[in-house]
Homo-oligomer: A and B are copies of this chain.
Amino acid sequence: MSLKLTILGCHSATPRVNAHPTSQFLEIKNHNFLIDCGEGTQVQLRKYGIKFSKIKHIFISHLHGDHIYGLIGLVATFRLLNRETELHIYGPKGLKEIITLQLKLSNSWTHYPLLFHELSSEKSELIFEDDKVEVFTIPLDHRIYTNGFLFKEKIGERKLDMNAILNYPEIEICDYQNLKIGRDFTLKNGKVLKNEILTLDPEKTKSYAFCSDTSYFPEIVPIIKNASCLYHETTFLKDREELAAKTKHSTASQAANIAKQANVKQLIVGHYSGRYKNIEAFKTEAQEVFKNTFLAEAGKVFEII
């Protein structure tokens, strides 16, 4: 199965009628991750038919409003929907205080376990792991403490090559698991069959790197190297490169440069400043440097292969 990314909002700063702040919904292996949560995210989730109960992990890049002002509403709505399962929230130190203060003052404690994983490291770290997926932070360079997130599928088991296996009647079904995890097989006559002749390479893993908000920051390149897909903010076009540097944002051209250096397979750009009426210009500018660029738009679904 491919990774599936649904854009819920992709504009910067203030929400407007047709410009929703940052939020994305990522389906990877058996997980459903919400990334950032600007004001109105819960309405966008409903609009695009995403079941609230699917969300068990929320990743917040930083504490600017266009990335978090929808979080308290979503947390409160989960309560009204009688959620019982755990909700894990990963984000900068301070996030827990923001959310719990509001729950306390409105006398609306959640009935479900609400677990905060506060981040403060300046280095990339592993913040989530199970048998199928890993999530690492991508420290970014913005006006306040900010992380991107790298979502990586883990390498799966080797695949059985049944054409080869059936040549050896001694190999029984109960041996298959050992083959999948890479073990050789020893025949009764003592001959060792190397694992590679009985199995095929596992499926190629995929990865998604989310980077918003940040100045042009090539230090991230080693972390996101060869990612299947990179989302990189492009608040401005290169006509406002100075403003981008001053506000610690990026231009489309700079985002494309990062994609090129990191040798990613595809680039999605977003976090457009409201001053640009036509977002096509972001694609045109980025494609001058990195051809395989796509525009984030609310409701758009990307199948990452």
Contact = CB atoms under 8 A, between A and B. Distances in A.
A43 interface: yes
A13 B42 CA distance: 12
Interface string A62-100: 111100011011001100100000000000101001100
B43 A144 contact: no
Given A40-B39, A40-B40, A73 B105 contact: no
A70 to B, nearest CB: 7
Given A69-B72, A98-B101, A63 B106 contact: yes
A105 B42 CA distance: 23
A204 interface: no
A144 B47 contact: no
Interface stretch (A14-22, A24-32, A124-132, A260-268): A14-22
A35 B140 CA distance: 39
A188 interface: no
Contacts of A106: 62-65, 144
A102 interface: yes
Interface residues of A, number: 34
Q: Which of A14, A47, A72, A107 has the most CB of B within 10 A?
A: A14
A86 B77 CA distance: 33
B15 A63 contact: no
B40 A14 contact: no
Nearest to A69: B73
- 6 closest cross-chain pairs (CB), A and B: A94-B105, A14-B77, A63-B106, A65-B76, A39-B73, A69-B73
22 contacts: A13-B77, A15-B40, A15-B73, A16-B43, A16-B46, A17-B43, A17-B46, A39-B39, A39-B70, A39-B73, A62-B106, A63-B102, A63-B105, A64-B106, A64-B108, A65-B72, A65-B106, A65-B108, A69-B76, A94-B105, A97-B101, A107-B144
